[in-house]
Amino acid sequence: MVMFNWEEFLSPILLSLKISLLSSVIVFSLGLIAAWYMARRQFIGKTIVETLFMLPLVLPPTVVGFALLVSLGRRSWVGQLVESLFNQPLVFTWEAAVIASVVISFPLVYQTLKVGFMSIDRDLEESARSIGASERQVLWFISLPLAWPALLSSYILGFARGLGEFGATLMIAGNIPGKTQTIPTAIYVAVDTGKMGLALYWVLSIVITSFVMLMIVNRKKRE
């Protein structure tokens, strides 16, 4: 039996769950707004905007991480502003890992929500408007209930994607044990240092979590 320190084992798991929970809420909110607007509006440059939304899906995570590092680092105006407000840099913090997870997860969440909104019968929405419903009422009482399976799927996919994020997180948040070390970065270090048993347990924890969440998504799609 492989012996290991429980604190060392649980620390990346708890931090990963913390980052994934926060990032999934943020990316779901942003994706919901963007998907609703893009599914219901036509405007010049829409294709370009959608391409930008989907770009993190096809770019290597390290490229996304580099872009975030340049944009949010101590030499950028955003990084300098954050440092002046909170007296600490944004990079190499767990908050930076949240940002990385949001950016990487956004394309999946956005596309899933957009497909869900586009699958709704527009006649139902127009009928609600014809009897005096505002856009907010149409969204809350017609669109969101009908798109419920897509809402659940998008949130779970965003959570799972954030949980498994590695490249961008490593670039902008680093791999500081107890501070920014997530499950994927912990697995990488464990393998690199020959701690294969510890790496295996971390792998099993993330595989089981992702499997359960994807199973929930697939079950909802069949309902």
- Whole-structure pTM value: 0.89
pLDDT tens profile 185-222: 999 999 998 888 889 999 999 999 888 888 877 776 66
Is 223's pLDDT higher than 70?
no
Cβ proximity of 107 and 53 under 8 Å: yes
Tens of pLDDT, residues 122-171: 888 888 888 888 878 888 888 888 888 889 889 998 999 999 899 999 99
> With contact defined as beta carbons under 8 Å apart, do 147 and 116 qualify?
yes
Contact 174, 188 (CB under 8 A): no
Which tokens in the block code for residue 66?
């580099």
Q: What is the pLDDT of residues 15-41, one digit of tens each?
A: 999 999 999 999 999 999 999 999 888
Amino acid 182: pLDDT: 93
